[in-house]
Chain A
Amino acid sequence: MAKVLAVVEQRDGTLKRVSEEVVSAARKVADGIGGEVDALIIGAAGIGDAAKSLGTFGADRVIAVEAEALSSYNPEGYAEALAERAKAEDYFAVLFAATASGRDLAPRVAAKLDVPMASEATELEVEDGELLITRPVYTGKLFAEVTLEGSPRVVTLRQNVFRPEENPRQATVETVSADVDPTAWKVRVREVRAGSGETLDVAEAPVVVSGGRGLRGPENWGLLEDLAGALGSRCALGASRAVVDAGWRPHGEQVGQTGKTVSPQLYFAVAISGAIQHLAGMRTASTIVAINKDADAPIFKVADYGIVGDAFEVVPRLTEEIRKLKG
Chain B
Amino acid sequence: MKTAICIKRVPDTEARIRVAGDGTSVDESGLKFVVSPYDEFAVEAALRLKDATGEGETVSISLGGSGAGEQLRATLAMGVDRAIRLDGEGSMDGLAVARALAAELKELGPDLVLCGMKAADDDQQQVGPMLAELLGMPCVTVVSSIEKEGDTLVCHREVEGGTEVVEVDLPAVVTVTKGEHEPRYPSLKGIMAAKKKPLEEKPAEGAESRVKVRRYSEPPPRPEGKVVGEGAEAVPELVRLLREEAKVL
Residue of A nearest to B155 (CB): A187
**Of A144, A148, A192, A303, which one neighbours B216 at CB under 8 angstroms?**
A144
Q: Of B16, B161, B227, which is within 8 A of A197 by CB?
A: B161
A-B interface contact total, Cβ < 8 Å: 277
Please give, as numbers and ranges, the residues of chain A lying within 8 Å of B238 by CB-CB distance: 289, 305, 307, 318
CB neighbours of A287 from chain B (8 A): 242, 246, 248
Contact call A266/B242, Cβ cutoff below 8 A: yes
A289-321 interface (Cβ within 8 A of B):
289-290, 295, 300-310, 313-314, 316-318, 321
Q: Decide: A117 and B94 in contact? CB cutoff 8 A.
A: yes
A305 contacts which of B164, B213, B242 (Cβ < 8 Å)?
Answer: B242
Size band of the A side of the interface? Answer: 35 or more
Query: Could you say which of A204, A258, A283 contacts B222, with CB atoms under 8 Å apart?
Result: A283
**Taking the complex as formed, is B142 at the interface, i.e. its CB lies under 8 A from any CB of chain A?**
yes
Which residues on A sit within 8 Å (CB–CB) of B124?
118-120
Stretch from A21-29, A87-95, A104-112 at the B interface: A104-112
If over half of A's interface residues share one DSSP class (helix, strand or loop), that class is named, otherwise mixed; here it is mixed
* B26 proximal to A (CB < 8 A): yes
Minimal Cβ-Cβ distance residue in B for A74: B166
Beta-carbon contact of A100 and B159 below 8 Å: yes
If the complex has contacts A142-B218, A305-B242, are A193 and B231 also in contact, measured as CB distance less than 8 A? Answer: no
A139 to B249 CA separation, bound complex (whole angstroms)? 28
Q: B235 touches which one: A200, A266, A318 (CB < 8 A)?
A: A318
A137 on the B face (CB < 8 A): yes
Decide if B210 touches A150 in the complex (CB within 8 Å). yes
In the complex, what's the smallest C-beta–C-beta distance from A201 to chain B, in angstroms? 4
Whether B123 pairs with A138 at a CB distance below 8 angstroms is yes
Which residue of A139, A149, A193, A305 is within 8 Å of B241 (Cβ)?
Answer: A305
Contact of B123 among A112, A139, A146, A301 (CB under 8 A): A139
Does B79 have its Cβ within 8 Å of any Cβ on chain A?
no
Question: Does B98 sit within 8 A of A, measured CB to CB?
Answer: yes
B106 to chain A, nearest CB (A): 15
Please name 15 further chain A to chain B contacts, defined as beta carbons within 8 Å, in addition to the given A149-B210, A300-B225, sorted by A numbering: A116-B94, A116-B210, A140-B219, A142-B218, A143-B216, A149-B211, A189-B165, A197-B161, A207-B248, A277-B14, A284-B219, A300-B227, A306-B228, A307-B235, A314-B231
Task: List B residues at the A interface (Cβ < 8 Å).
Answer: 11, 13-14, 16-17, 19, 26, 37-38, 92-96, 98, 120-130, 132-134, 137-142, 144, 154, 158-169, 172, 177-179, 209-219, 222-223, 225-232, 234-236, 238-239, 241-243, 246, 248-249
Sample 29 A-B pairs with CB under 8 A, ordered by A number: A75-B129, A75-B141, A111-B134, A116-B209, A116-B210, A119-B94, A119-B124, A119-B125, A139-B120, A141-B16, A142-B218, A144-B216, A146-B213, A149-B212, A189-B164, A192-B163, A193-B163, A195-B162, A200-B161, A203-B160, A251-B179, A252-B158, A257-B37, A266-B246, A305-B242, A314-B231, A314-B232, A318-B239, A321-B235
